[in-house]
Chains A and B, each alone.
Chain A
């Protein structure tokens, strides 16, 4: 587990503070960077940016760059997908040391199991929204 690091970024969203927006998170993800937030009060790290900390409610939350490697917390192979998706594919909760992210696993069914090491590769697109994609870590 490595320390999360502060990330410099522009705050031109006009909302008068430097809180990470979804637009910025999505743009970074598309460019290959997985951003999150860290609460300055309780230390909770999330991969799903919010307006306040989901654990303690504090509004002092800074933007951090998340680890790109982690361990599968849980995983399922979706065989009956929603409209606009093609099955089969795996969706997993990935523990990143600090923070946990929901991600698509690159490959078909049964590519990874709980406890497997996985690494962030890129973003996929659905309905104009990106989702992080992970793949098994080599070796």
Chain B
């Protein structure tokens, strides 16, 4: 039983943008309106994600600013912040609102700028990202976000034998997919040698194991499952959304490399949709770092636990493989404007399930799963979508 229907999507290219946050948001929202075939007057609310605008651009209380900018002034508008899982949480609440009958049709979206267009360099942005780790018990050690995922991945390598080369294959695959995505921040191939020879950021991660700082926006129009078919936009069903948290800080997680929140969120989403990871046709997962994709592929049940590295190296997760992971290029190649990433995953699933993903289309895709992770793997939102309303 669908919980809601996505009837329109839009997103900017991810990369470097001079445009302001409201301007960028409009570049995603208007294509979503047009895709759905609706006007601003038919939208009842905004569910919006932006993680760090206060720190990066001295810009807060953005939800009503954006509604005013795109012609929705007056509607209830709310902003969500859950680190990198920011806009999937906005999406969850949008789905719940239309499912419960609070609103008929809503706009959900996210926007963020993370590149030097903000006026901030790598050190300053690394410090701002690190604000999502524990202020008292983690930040004083000099832990960074590459460092958080490095700690998880090093333990995964120790426990399962995952290798540097297998991690590099994740980057090679996602860069290859990115060459097929005109909206990707990186549109060029890399080799495993390119990855392994690039400078170390936090071992085992080299520069090419890490997603870039990106600017961008993504938007979707969500309506109830009952009314989805009455719009021009080709509807895609949302059949499950799971949302779980794990203990903060990292040291207190029972078994850090398990990424328990992802497993709990996946179990919840799959139960709602009466499905499981083995029958997904594609997945968009939160590959902020190559090791994060390996752990996500296992937590979602797309591959067996411990098999994420070999699966990537053997091509099982490539576009032509058994279970294509990150056909968009993922955060790694498509880019990662923090607050836009969750909804951008929904955009990608929607296009595949409509058969509109062009050169990177996963053939005959009918079921897809999105995995959006926030902070030190403490928040994860997992969404299952299926073709048709």
Using a CB–CB distance below 8 Å, which chain A residues touch chain B?
22, 26, 46-48, 54-55, 73-85, 89, 91-93, 100-104, 109-110, 114-115, 124-127, 129-132
Contacts and interface: CB of A to CB of B under 8 A. Distances in A.
Contacts, number: 119
A126 B252 CA distance: 22
Given A82-B123, A132-B141, 9 more contacts: A48-B136, A48-B249, A77-B203, A79-B199, A81-B126, A85-B142, A91-B151, A104-B142, A110-B203
B224 to A, nearest CB: 36
Interface stretch (B16-24, B152-160, B170-178, B324-332): B152-160
Interface of B is mostly: helix
A102 B142 contact: no
A48 B251 contact: yes
Contacts of B252: 46, 48, 54, 100
A82 B257 CA distance: 24
Contacts of B279: none
A83 B254 CA distance: 31
Nearest to A114: B158
Interface residues of B, number: 39
Interface string B229-270: 000000000000000000101111010110000000000000
A75 B124 CA distance: 24
Given A47-B251, A48-B249, A84 B147 contact: no
B122 A76 contact: no
Interface of A is mostly: strand
Nearest to A85: B142
Contact of B140 (A73, A83, A101, A125): A125
Contact of A75 (B123, B154, B200): B154
B127 interface: yes
Given A73-B155, A74-B158, A102-B250, A80 B141 contact: no
B142 A78 contact: yes
Interface of B: 122-124, 126-127, 130, 134-144, 146-147, 150-152, 154-155, 158, 199-204, 247, 249-252, 254, 256-257
Contact of A114 (B124, B155, B249): B155
Contacts of A81: 123, 126, 142, 144
Of all A-B residue pairs in the complex, the 7 with the closest CB atoms, nearest first, are A76-B150, A131-B140, A82-B127, A129-B140, A83-B123, A74-B155, A131-B141
Contact of A78 (B140, B143, B154): B143
Contacts of B124: 83
Which of B139, B150, B203, B252 has the most C-beta atoms of chain A within 10 angstroms of its own C-beta?
Answer: B252
B290 to A, nearest CB: 14
B142 A48 contact: no
A78 B138 contact: no
Contacts of A92: 151
